[in-house]
Every structure is written in structure tokens, then in C-alpha cells.
């Protein structure tokens, strides 16, 4: 089973994960056509694909995910949609209406376009944050798809991704215009790292400002399991192949899967140190203040910002829910994805770390100069 001869649409094609998936599809699947959809598709990215494009046609669809006419054009004649496009925001910097419009309404419009244009398969890029952690910081260690958890979601990002995931799974088995059936599934990815990860660049920048000492924001025991971007792309490909296979389609369709790999379980802060230590960075041994006091300071900042909101929009540098996320053990197994999708991580931790560190090294001088002239 392969995607040879298929027409694939990738939304968010110029993003961190989207670029990696497009390249994987070109290098390994020999699809008839790959359609790149994003607000803007850079000519430099298109040029970088020429060496691996082969006979595959590349088509560009620039515009807003909320443009129904654009979505129908992009879906017309397509056989599989990889829906990656979303606003990612865990500090509530984006207005809820904008995030809901992109993450939820955009997904709904895309699903409707798939039904109208007879697209057979739809893979939705979800996130671990639709699961939690909850406001109490209840831990999960090596959880799975059957784990029961009280996920009182507080982030607008988590809420909108959760609703979009639900709409995706509810659309499974919807009747297409040609009488066929739409097959959908959702991939709940852990925190994604690798070449191009803007969060890693942010933490490296903060470390440079702190005299090459990484700031500790999470306790060592708050272990999570990040995943390398190359393995996330591979999971998307395996999901598409499973939905295309008539025998696997009935098992995979309508389900969500946790997607992780063999990256060691560690806290977010210790992960940053693991990939940046070879570049000469050290890390603070302890949190800047005790965690309970940290929560209190966050609460005071949130109250002050709320009081000022009628006059000026001020965003606290960190909220209690983000602090909870950074300090809650929260890890999940990929065994169901392995069993149902045939997903196996392609990149080992050693290779993923090496690639990530080499990319950070290539960005280090530019980051130091950016901070120097800031």
C-alpha cells in the first residue's frame, strides 16, 4: 500500500511540521500531486523541493483556511487531506474569536469541502493538550487511548483543538457526494521538537540573555515525552496508508491516536538542556522561586492584568495553567498507533538529538547577534 498516484492536500504546508511532511511525501510516496496550502507559500521553500520532486506535481493554494471557495478548489480531485494548519498559542496571546475561527471553523469548513469534493481520507493533527494536564496538575505516566482523565481545559488553544478533533472524528463515515464514505482519524502528538522548532529558539534566546544558562521552568520530576518532527511526519504518512487500506480503514477510521517516540522521558527544561548542552549551555539547578510561590506570583499578575483589561490589554508573562503544564508528569505510549497504523519511529533519540543540536548550532550566531542589537 502506498500513495503512489494519489493527490494529497497539506494545510499548513509551510509550517514546522508541514514542511517536513511535504518533503517526506515527495521523497517516498511518488504521489501524482501534492497541494501546498498556507496563508503564504514561500518561493524559497518551493525551490528547495525541486531536488526531490521527481514526477510529482506541486500546486500552491494561498489564502485563509476560512475561505470556503478556496477550500473546495484545493480539495477538488484530492484523495487525502492532511490538516495541520492551526494557531498554536499556550499563553493566550491570540483573541479567542480568531483562534476559534481558524482552529474550529476552519476545520469544519475543510471537512465540508472534503464531503462536497469526494475526498476519501482526512488526517487531523491534534495535540496532547486536548487531554490536559488539568488545572489540578493530576499526572499521567505512560497513558494510552483508554486512560480516563478529568481534563478541565483552560487554554483557548486546548479547547479549540479539542472541539476541532471532535468534529473530525464525528465526520467519519459521512456520505460523500459520489456516494462514498469519508474516513477520518486524529493524531494527538506530544510536544514536537526538531529542526525549525521556534520554541527551542525562544528558550535558547532566553539562555543567551541569561549568560548561557538555561532558565529552569519545570521540576526534574515533571517528566514528559517529546517527539521528533521526523517521526510525527512518519505517523501522518502511516495514518494515510491505513485509511486507504480497506481492511485497516474500519479499525483506524473515527479514532484518535497518541503519537510519541523513544525520546527519553524528562521535564521540558531538562529536554532543552539535553539538546543545548553540547553548545555550551548550562541550566539552573532549581526553579527561580519555590513552585507554590511561583503560582502565587502568577495569580497576582493575572489579577492585575484583568483589572487593567478595560483600559489596556496586558498579558502576563506566564499564567498558572502554563506553569501547571510545565510541572506535571504527562506522558503517553504510542503502542496503539504501532498496532493499528503500523507506526514505528524512524529516528532514534540519538539521531533526533544530533539533528536538532546541529540545527540549533547553525542558528546560534544569528540568535546571539539578534539579542546583541535588540
Instruction: Give the C-alpha separation, 51 to 39, whole Å.
Output: 24
Higher pLDDT pick, 306 / 160? 160
Name the percent of the chain lying above pLDDT 70. 99
Instruction: Give the C-alpha separation, 35 to 117, whole Å.
Output: 15
What does the pLDDT read at residue 9? 97
Is the pLDDT assigned to residue 269 strictly greater than 80? Answer: yes
Looking at the domain 7-197+225-267+331-350, which fold is it? Rossmann fold (3.40.50)
Q: Which three cell numbers stand for residue 117?
A: 469534493
Q: Are 194 and 352 in contact (CB under 8 A)?
A: yes
What does the pLDDT read at residue 305? 81
pTM above 0.85, yes or no: yes
Higher pLDDT pick, 298 / 211? 211
What does the pLDDT read at residue 298? 85
Mean pLDDT rounded to a whole number for the chain: 93
Q: Which residues are catalytic?
A: 157
Instruction: Give the C-alpha separation, 352 to 263, whole Å.
Output: 8
Give the β-pairing of 213-214 and 80-83: unpaired
- pLDDT tens-digit readout, 168-192: 999 999 999 999 999 999 999 999 9
Instruction: Give the C-alpha separation, 83 to 212, whole Å.
Output: 38
Amino acid at each position: 500500500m502506498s500513495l503512489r498516484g494519489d493527490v494529497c492536500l497539506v494545510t499548513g504546508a509551510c509550517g514546522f511540521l508541514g514542511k517536513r511532511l511535504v518533503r517526506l511525501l515527495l521523497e517516498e510516496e511518488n504521489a501524482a500531486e501534492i497541494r501546498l496550502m498556507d496563508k503564504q507559500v514561500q518561493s524559497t521553500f518551493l525551490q528547495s523541493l525541486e531536488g526531490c520532486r521527481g514526477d510529482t506535481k506541486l500546486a500552491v493554494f494561498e489564502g485563509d483556511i476560512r475561505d470556503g471557495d478556496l477550500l473546495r478548489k484545493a480539495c477538488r480531485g484530492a484523495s487525502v487531506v492532511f490538516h495541520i494548519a492551526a494557531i498554536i498559542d499556550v499563553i493566550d496571546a491570540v483573541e479567542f474569536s480568531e483562534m476559534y475561527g481558524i482552529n474550529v471553523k476552519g476545520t469544519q469548513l475543510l471537512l465540508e469541502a472534503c464531503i462536497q469534493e469526494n475526498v476519501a481520507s482526512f488526517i487531523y493533527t491534534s495535540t496532547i493538550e486536548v487531554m490536559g494536564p488539568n488545572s489540578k496538575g493530576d499526572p499521567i505516566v505512560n497513558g494510552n487511548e483508554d486512560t480516563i482523565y478529568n481534563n478541565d481545559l483552560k487554554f483557548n488553544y486546548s479547547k479549540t483543538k479539542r472541539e476541532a478533533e471532535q468534529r473530525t472524528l464525528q465526520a467519519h463515515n459521512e456520505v460523500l457526494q459520489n456516494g462514498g464514505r469519508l474516513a477520518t482519524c486524529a493524531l494527538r502528538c506530544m510536544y514536537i521538537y526538531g529542526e525549525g522548532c521556534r520554541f527551542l529558539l525562544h528558550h535558547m534566546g532566553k539562555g543567551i540573555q541569561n549568560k548561557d544558562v538555561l532558565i529552569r521552568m519545570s521540576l526534574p520530576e515533571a517528566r514528559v515525552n517529546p517527539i521528533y518532527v521526523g517521526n510525527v511526519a512518519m505517523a501522518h504518512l502511516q495514518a494515510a496508508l491505513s485509511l486507504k487500506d480497506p481492511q485497516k480503514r474500519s479499525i483506524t477510521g473515527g479514532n484518535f491516536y497518541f503519537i510519541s517516540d523513544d525520546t527519553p522521558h524528562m521535564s521540558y527544561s531538562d529536554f532543552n538542556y539535553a539538546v543545548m548542552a553540547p553548545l555550551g549551555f548550562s541550566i539552573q539547578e532549581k526553579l527561580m522561586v519555590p513552585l507554590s510561590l511561583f503560582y502565587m506570583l502568577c495569580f497576582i499578575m493575572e489579577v492585575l492584568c484583568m483589572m487593567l483589561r478595560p483600559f489596556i490589554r496586558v498579558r502576563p508573562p506566564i499564567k498558572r495553567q502554563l506553569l501547571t503544564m510545565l510541572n506535571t508528569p504527562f506522558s503517553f505510549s504510542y503502542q496503539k498507533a504501532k498496532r493499528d497504523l503500523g507506526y514505528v519511529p524512524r529516528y532514534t533519540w540519538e539521531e533526533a538529538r544530533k539533528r536538532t543540536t546541529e540545527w540549533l548550532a547553525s542558528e546560534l550566531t544569528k540568535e546571539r547577534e539578534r539579542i546583541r542589537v535588540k
